[in-house]
Chains A and B, each alone.
Chain A
Amino acid sequence: MSAKPVTTDICLVLEGTYPYVSGGVSTWVHQVINMFPDWTFSLFYLGAQKDPKAKYKYQLPPNVKAVEEVYLFDDCVDGGLLGGVGGKWKPFYENVRKLGVRLPVGDRHDLDLVRGLLKHVGEHSRVGFESFWKHPETWNVAIELYDRYAPDESFLDFYWTLRFLIQPVWKLARAMNRLPQAQVYHTACTGYAGLAAAMAAAETGKPMVLTEHGIYLRERIADICRSPWIPDQLVRRPNLDEPLGTLRRLWIGFFDVIGRMAYHQSADIVSLFGKNADAQIHFGADPAKITIIPNGIKTEEFFELKKKRDERRSREPGSQVVGFLGRVVSIKDVKTLLRTARKVCDALPKAQFLVAGPNEEEPEYYRECVELMEQLGVQDQVKFLGPTQRNDFLPQLDVMILSSISEGLPFVIIESLAAGVPVVSTDVGACSELLNGRSGESPAFGPAGLIAEIANSDELAAHLIRVLTDQPLLDQMTQAGLQRVEKLYHEKAIRAAYHELYAKHLA
């Protein structure tokens, strides 16, 4: 790798998040950079496609010294003449074959092979992807892989799948020389970012740290299994013996292997909560490397909100305001929220539901939600507020609802609890830990909310009705939440943990 003008203490390798996309991971990234103003940071952002209109969602702190971007799914425009893959590429193809000879498992052997391949691609930037892909030797390797791994699969689909697997990695290899030099490479997920960080760390001998908020591989598996457009033989000829078709297994295998390489290369692996640590171990992480560091907030910033809430509640005794704070997207399952609203309003006609958050990310889903709201006849009780300031919103609520089908460790729960708002949530990610405490919590603070099954509007409604009609219970939960957040999810604790981690590697 060529020498970079800027060398920072920490390089954050980020895939589809900060600084372009807001959300939990981005909040965390911004927080981490701000926590350590004395250390310098650089960002290596991996996106899908360049959007010229995209703007930073965050004001970059002054200790961010460099930002590099690469877009892995942009059309390949890198030049290079056909036939440019010459004699120097012989060892390259030999190594590709070595990688394919056995099923890659993401161990040191595979990691070194892949690193060599990526380095080679990076060093021969005159050869474009098309030129490589159309080269007869590439074709020969593709045939060998086909014969080995998918001899009965549709060749057309196999061939394009292979291309789509390789093309982003090729783009990444091209961009590796732009990856800022640093003392520590810290990535917020496995996947392509994990691969980039692992390659950079292995190349420079610097330590790699991986913090996983969700479990990248698990999300990809869900995506891949849900995608009816992956055209493999399973769709054409369903088969009871094989739950997944070859091409789906190829995709999953790909993300599995690059995930394992990231786990393998990482010096430290951070999980936000216990359940995720178990998942990481399941997907190949060494338990000895895993530390649990949750998300945290400055709870003192929420005292004022709690005060406002208390004042409002004393002004309006018996108010029944339920809030949702988040993007209106399918993963948040807003439709279940609407069904829940219907059932709650049947019992408590005065109840109100406020849905705060951007609607534009999945416009089709938002439209369906509005339609459903009208069908259910709750348009008088439910309000879609659009993007709303958290500080204005939280004091208006008596209880928060979270109906997601997937979460990591949601900031929205920590913040609600810090503002004294109990939460009714589906049982995803760390929600149960946040509301009921980790097992063996001591002192035990008690429940700060109630947990329901995913997509179970009956149970969600029953819980809401219970807390909205039992004021002493609601107040107990408020207290439990305040105490738990103060003790376990204060930014101080998080800062201390990351300080220790970084200091160890920066020394």
Chain B
Amino acid sequence: MAGIGFQLRRLSKSSHFTGQIGAYASAAIISAGPWMISILSLMLLTWLLHKVLPREEDHIRLFSASVTHVYAFALVLTGPLQILLTRYTADQYSLKTPEKIFPSFRGGLIVAAVMASIVGGVFFIGLVPDVPWHFQVSAAALLVYVSCIFVASVYLSVLREYGRIVFAFFVGYGSGVAAAWYLAQHYGITGAMVGLLAGHLVLFILLAAHVRHEIGKGSGSMFAFLGAAKKLPDLLLCGLFYNLGIWIDKFLFWWMSHSSVQVSGRLYAAPDYDLAIYLSLLSIVPGMAVFILQVETSFAERFQAYFDKVNHGASLSDIVVARGQIIESLQQGFRRLLKVQGLTTALLVIGASAIGSIFHVSFVQTGIFRITLFGGFLLMAFLAMQTVLFYFNDRRGALLCSFVFLLANGFLSALTVWQNEAWYGFGFVVASGVGLLLAATRVNTRLRELEYHTFARGGE
């Protein structure tokens, strides 16, 4: 008989949509959580070192500036890698090929270690002279460890083992701080660096062992995940821009500001700015905790419910209702975030001078601290919006926001650097605000057109 009729059967197989639940929630946490613990530890350690080495102010500055640089470099270097591995791992779960995950862990560690060795070697050994070689090598090694720790954290985040991460960081930093404190008494800051390095080794072993235990050995190519980089270059750039965006103002203050202090070679510190900004970044922990709790519970549930409706034959009006519930949950999350973080920030602004006196900071630093507290607040909200964009797979939007944030923070902070202390911090504040506005607009648009993106654009 004539006729080709119709062939729905073959085509209909491709017609399901999935939400990448849980793939991205962690992106923000792994960047933010651990290095908050590290800031706290570092502050504690600096305080301890002042007690142990009372007459070695310069050495302590060398130590803390080195560790700060290690963290900055590690975050910028592994930012793209983290986001890529997060996506790759989540994809392997949804493709039901979990055996490919462990090889990618090894591959990721190798890539991170190679990058960190090169950067650490060039910077700490090549560009930081007049320091004992033990210290140089330890600092470079610390960069390798920290980078590998970030890679390992990715896997535990995807496994949603946040408790494990916190536990490992707690043990690792606890032992690191203790070892550094002990060794500093005998070998000075080189001892402190080696001690901290030992703590990081403990931390890395804890994380890696847990990853190995949870995921198993698997099989396949170690570098298969790099193939995903070709398909998702926007994701890589997003990770790079975002982390660079967070650090660009510090780099500018270190390397361009007239108020910065040359510690050794290319190693600088900006005492006026650094402490203020670290304390501010620390101040966003409550807001972040509240928001992540919301995302992990009510939002995740409704997000899943939306896609269940989509894939299981719900009518459009039911799907729209499900979308409304996602929006409701997000609004609730943001309201809580604003309440908790608003209150925290307000209290800190009011108590800034009291806090300043605890840390023996100057009047200028207190002023900058008040400004950067606002910046931290805005950054927190920006981060939350970015997380939502990742959830809805608006990679283009997330990339745009990160890029604008990077440009704004770079450009505006450069402007303030060329001005005077009175302007310090405003670059960061305005850049975070711009990023927040852009990301919030993007989130609104995305939510309004969610069905269109889900169906017509295949989730893109």
Contact = CB atoms under 8 A, between A and B. Distances in A.
Contact of A156 (B7, B11, B313, B456): B313
A15 B1 contact: no
Interface of B: 1-12, 15-17, 310-317, 319, 449, 451-452, 455-457
B234 to A, nearest CB: 15
Contacts of A58: none
B3 A155 contact: no
Given A16-B4, A46-B4, A154-B313, A164 B11 contact: yes
Interface of A: 14-17, 23-25, 46-48, 72-73, 133-134, 136, 138-139, 142-143, 146-147, 151-157, 159-161, 164, 168, 188-189, 191-193, 213-214, 216, 219-220, 223-224, 227, 229-231, 233, 236, 251, 331, 406, 408
B317 A151 contact: yes
A406 B313 contact: no
Nearest to B2: A189
B8 A155 contact: no
B211 to A, nearest CB: 37
A503 B8 CA distance: 41
Given A143-B316, A155-B316, A157-B313, A230 B8 contact: yes
B449 to A, nearest CB: 8
Given A73-B7, A231-B313, A233-B313, A155 B319 contact: yes
Contacts of B3: 15-16, 189, 191, 193, 216, 219-220
29 contacts: A15-B4, A16-B2, A16-B5, A23-B1, A24-B1, A138-B456, A139-B456, A142-B456, A151-B317, A152-B315, A154-B314, A155-B314, A155-B315, A155-B319, A156-B15, A160-B11, A160-B15, A161-B8, A191-B3, A191-B4, A192-B4, A213-B1, A214-B2, A216-B2, A219-B1, A224-B6, A231-B12, A251-B6, A406-B1
Contacts of B4: 15-16, 46-48, 72-73, 191-192
Nearest to B457: A134
A208 to B, nearest CB: 16
A154 B310 CA distance: 8
Nearest to B316: A155
Contacts of A156: 15-17, 310-311, 313-314, 455
Q: With a 10 A CB-CB cut-off, give which of B9, B312, B455 has the most chain A CB atoms.
A: B455
B8 A229 contact: yes
B163 to A, nearest CB: 37
B190 to A, nearest CB: 58
Contact of B6 (A133, A154, A155, A164): A164
Nearest to A165: B6
Given A139-B452, A160-B11, A230-B8, A25 B313 contact: no
Given A134-B456, A155-B455, A227 B2 contact: no
A229 B1 contact: no
A227 B8 contact: yes
Contacts of B15: 156-157, 160
Contacts of B312: 154
A191 B316 CA distance: 30
A138, A155, A227, A233 pick with most chain B CB within 10 angstroms = A155
A230 B314 CA distance: 15
A28 B17 CA distance: 46
B7 A48 contact: yes
Nearest to A23: B1
A193 B2 contact: yes
Given A72-B4, A155-B319, A157-B15, 6 more contacts: A151-B317, A152-B315, A156-B313, A213-B2, A216-B2, A408-B1
Q: Which 6 A-B pairs have the closest CB atoms?
A: A154-B313, A189-B2, A16-B4, A155-B316, A48-B4, A160-B15
Q: Which of B8, B9, B311, B314 has the most CB of A within 10 A?
A: B8
Given A134-B456, A155-B314, A156-B311, A220 B6 contact: yes
Contacts of A153: 315
A151 B316 contact: yes
Contacts of A159: 455
Nearest to B318: A155
Contacts of B315: 151-155
Contact of A25 (B2, B6, B311, B314): B2
A143 B17 CA distance: 18
Nearest to B452: A139
Contacts of B12: 160, 164, 229, 231
A40 to B, nearest CB: 23
A282 B9 CA distance: 29
B13 to A, nearest CB: 10
A25 B455 contact: no
A46 to B, nearest CB: 7
A152 B314 CA distance: 8
Contacts of A139: 452, 455-456
Chain A CB within 10 A, most for which of B11, B319, B449 = B11
B313 A219 contact: no
B100 to A, nearest CB: 27
Nearest to A331: B1
A184 B21 CA distance: 59
B322 to A, nearest CB: 11
Contacts of B2: 14-17, 25, 188-189, 191, 193, 213-214, 216
A485 to B, nearest CB: 23
B262 to A, nearest CB: 51
Contacts of A331: 1
Contacts of A406: 1
Nearest to B13: A229
A164 B10 CA distance: 11
Contacts of B456: 133-134, 136, 138-139, 142
